[in-house]
Amino acid sequence: MTNSTAIKIAISGAAGNIGYALLPLLANGYVFQNQPVELRLLEIPHAIKSLTGTRMELLDCAFPCLTNVMCTTDPLKAFEDANVIVLVGGFPRKKGMARKDLIQANTKIFTSMGQAMNEVASPNAKVLVVANPANTNCLAALTEASCIPSKNFCALTTLDHQRAKFQIANRLGVRANRVKNVTIWGNHSETQYPDALTGGYYISESGEKSSLKTLLANDLEWAMNDFVNIVQNRGKSVIEVRGNSSAMSAAMATADCLKTWLVAGTKEGETVSMAVYNDKGYYGVQPGIVFSFPCECKHGEWFVKEDLQLSEFAQEKLKVTESELFEERDAVQELVGTSRKRSVSIVSASSSMTTSESEVSLSTAAESSAQFLRSSI
C-alpha cells in the first residue's frame, strides 16, 4: 500500500480529540487535493491501542488518495523523510499546575521533537505546531531543528483568526467569508490582540470593499474592548459550555492553515494570521520569538505583510503580548538554548514579490505549491 510519490505527513497526538477530527481532512483531499498522502501517526505508548482503532477507521473510509497509515511511538520513524509535520500532541495542563511548569514540560517534548526532525525529516519539511503553548513550543522545535529553515515553521493562530472573523460578521449581520484581513497579533493565549481595525475590510457580493474601521466607527467601544475579550477568551468559553476544549474548530483551522500555506496560497490582497519566527523585528517586535502576524502565502511560503499602520492602541496591545512571549522564552531558555545553530534568513513580502509576481492567480499559485510539494518528496 506504500506509494513513493505520496506526501509524507507526520501527526503527533493523533489519537487525541483534534487528531481524530483532523485526520480525515488530511486524507480526503481537503488540504492536499488529489495528491496521494501517507500518514504517520505518532502517539505515546498508552494511546497506541486507541490510535490503532483510529487507523482502522481511516482505512475503512477508503479514501482514494490515502496510500499508507503507520502508527508509531517513535518520532524518528514518524518523521523519517517527512514533508509535513503537524505537532498536536503535548503535555496537558493538570489541576494546580503553574503555567511555568506547563511550559517547561512541553518544551522538553518539543525540544526532542525538534532534535528528531533535525535528524531524519526532509530539510524542506514544513512544520505546524498546534499544541499549547503553541508559540513557545514552536520556538523550542525550530531552535533544535537547525537543518530545517526557521521559515518552514509556524504555530497555529488560524482558529483565533476564524473566531475573530465570525464575531465581526455576526456584529455586522454579514457572512463570515465576507470579512477579510482581521489579524491576530502575538501569542496564542489570552494576551493575543485580535484586531479588526488595522487593515480589516468587508467585501460585498458585488466586490465592493468597505474598511471595518469605517463600518464600526459608531461601535468602536465594542471593537476595541468586547470583541477583543470575546476572541481572547473564546477557547475558555467553549470549554465552559462544551465541557471539553475546541476540537472540531481547531482541526478545521489546522487544515485551513496547511491548505493556505502549502497549497492554495492567499488570494490577492488577502492576509491570514500565522505565528512565525520573528528574526526581522516586524512591526517593532523584538526578534527571537514566534509571534502571530498578518501573512500572505504564495508558493508554499509565508510573507509577513509589512505595510500596515498601527494605531497607538494597537502598539500597546502588541507590547503586552510580546512581553508575555519573552517571559515564556525566558522560562525555557535553559532548556532551549539561545539561538539556532545555523541562522536562516527570512525574506519579506516587499523585498521578494514583484508586482507581476503578486498578480499570479490563485490557481497558478496552487499549481506552483503543488509542484513545490512534489519537489519536496
What residue ranges bind ligand NAI (CB under 6 A)? 12-13, 15-19, 42-44, 47, 88-92, 109, 130-132, 134, 156, 159, 188, 245-247, 250
Q: Which of 44, 347 has the CB closer to ligand NAI? A: 44
Q: Which CB, 19 or 200, lies closer to ligand NAI? A: 19
List, edge to edge, every strand of the sheet that includes 66-72.
66-72, 37-42, 7-12, 84-87, 126-129, 153-155, 272-278, 289-298, 301-304
Q: What are the start-end ranges of the E strands in 13-151? A: 37-42, 66-72, 84-87, 126-129
Closest residue to ligand NAI, judged by C-beta, is: 16
CB of 359 to ligand NAI, least distance (A): 32
Residue in the structure block whose three cell numbers are 500565522 = 274
3-state secondary structure of 47: helix
Which of 22, 297 has the CB closer to ligand NAI? 22
Q: In this structure, are strands 37-42 and 126-129 parallel, antiparallel, or unpaired? A: unpaired
Establish whether 188 is a catalytic residue: yes
Best CA proximity match to 100, nearest among 330, 331, 336, 333? 331
Question: Least Å distance between CB 44 and ligand NAI?
Answer: 5
Q: What letter would DSSP give residue 223?
A: I
3-class DSSP assignment, residue 32: coil
CB of 91 to ligand NAI, least distance (A): 6
Whose Cβ is closer to ligand NAI: residue 44's or residue 176's? 44
What is the closest distance, in whole angstroms, from the C-beta atom of residue 249 to ligand NAI in the complex?
Answer: 8
Pick the catalytic residue: 46, 161, 188, 299? 188
The CA–CA distances, whole Å, from 204 to 175, 178, 262 equal 10, 7, 28
Residues designated catalytic: 188
